[in-house]
Amino acid sequence: MNETQELRIVVVGLGYVGVTAAACLSSQGHEVFGVDINEAKVAALNEGHSPIVEPGVAELVGAAVSRGKLQASSTLPDLDTYDLAIVCVGTPSAADGSHNMTFIAESARQIATAAARTSTPLTVAFRSTFRPGTMENLIEPIFLEAIGSNFAEQVELVYNPEFLRESTAVADYFAPPKIVVGTSQGRHSETMAILHDGIAAPIFETGFREAEITKFIDNSWHAVKVAFANEVGRVCAAYDVDASVAHEIFVSDTKLNISPYYTRPGGAFGGSCLPKDVRAMQSIARSAAVEAQLLNSLLETNASHKSFQLNRVLSSVNPGGRVLLVGLAFKAGTDDMRESPNVDLAAGLLERGYQVRIVDPFVRTSSLVGQNLGQVMTELPNLRSLLIDEKDVDNRDFDLIVLNSAPSNALELDAARVLDLRRIATSATDPTRTREHEA
């Protein structure tokens, strides 16, 4: 590794992402070599011209080429003298909606073949967007075949997504919302640390798959926000409501509306407000003949999530098993049973012949009244016999303990038998694999 903290970098793919990266990296003092099969792009860059139109990029390219910090070719250079290769080739949509991985595979093969002839360590970072599992199932096997079983001693593979917006790409490069570095087992990459040195942003060092899915989550969420805003706008127009004023009120709430609070994967929504008001909003839209497909899908997708949670329990315990549910109310610390997904879960297990008991210190059948009482008794008519006190819980009595809410300190649970439905994780998830820190 260079002692000056300046890297020698190959950027493969001189499209929008690649040219922006090459321009910004060379402006930081790194020596950059761009590679693209398009001879016109290569010629333009070598002449100091940007192959793309993006504010600020042309100036950076021109300055870098004049200083000898940026050049390009249609073929890879000798990688023995480089620290890092960044792959930014395209992943266009295939006919079935998936990504066409032709350019990714070919770039990986060329780099792996070249790296097999080198004697110095090389970091290869992919920035192209592709599905989770690609690094492990496509990229790693290519390097394994070209270099051998010990390829990881010579080549460090990284997935490092970019977060650039057109028209503000240069500013976004130097001030990104976050930096995500995915490696095998979430190991720290010193090369990537040098690459991002001086950029102030939250840094997430994680495994390949978590890094790979980041852009899909981000872009799907952005699409949801746009679709939601436009559906609401159509409803507002139908009722002579000033949508700009409604929007101003909406985004002013950063405690709930614009916050991480409702975007944590976990339990389904329920309670007295969300289901009721979503139905009402759907009715409002229908009454005005407004097409609102996103709004109309909310209750359906919530029902799907309830089924998903039930199946998580069913797959964790044998048929007819003994299950303890910790938490029954819609929200911990209350006795609100109205449309509680936890009630649906209990009913689903009982219907399938499981032996269910429930611990919720805030739920007392004697104090339930009105709609709160009516809804829960409709689904769980024998609720009184299902509820047990915390002090009566014996781990040996249960095959599985399901957490719908946090257990109290008085409740001692056997961790090996616990399934936490408040979060969605795989058996391979290890909290120590993800580290977040400020740059």
Map residue 54 onto helix, strand or coil. coil
Contact 75, 37 (CB under 8 A): no
Catalytic residue among 24, 88, 236, 273: 273
b/e sequence 25-54, b meaning 16+ C-beta within 10 Å: bbbbebbbbbbbeeeebbebbeeeebbbeb
- Using alpha carbons, list the distances in angstroms from residue 150 to 61, 80, 147, 198, 263: 38, 18, 7, 33, 41
Dihedral class, residue 437 (left if φ above 0, else alpha if ψ from -120 to 50, else beta): beta
Number of H helices, E strands in the chain: 15, 13
Map residue 163 onto helix, strand or coil. coil
- Non-local (6+) Cβ contacts of 154 within 8 A are 115, 118, 121, 122, 147
Contact 417, 313 (CB under 8 A): no
Tell me, yes or no, if 88 is annotated catalytic: no
Length of the chain: 439
- Non-local (6+) Cβ contacts of 71 within 8 A are 32, 33, 34, 45, 46, 65
H helix intervals, 323-409? 341-351, 370-379, 383-386
Q: Which residues are catalytic?
A: 273
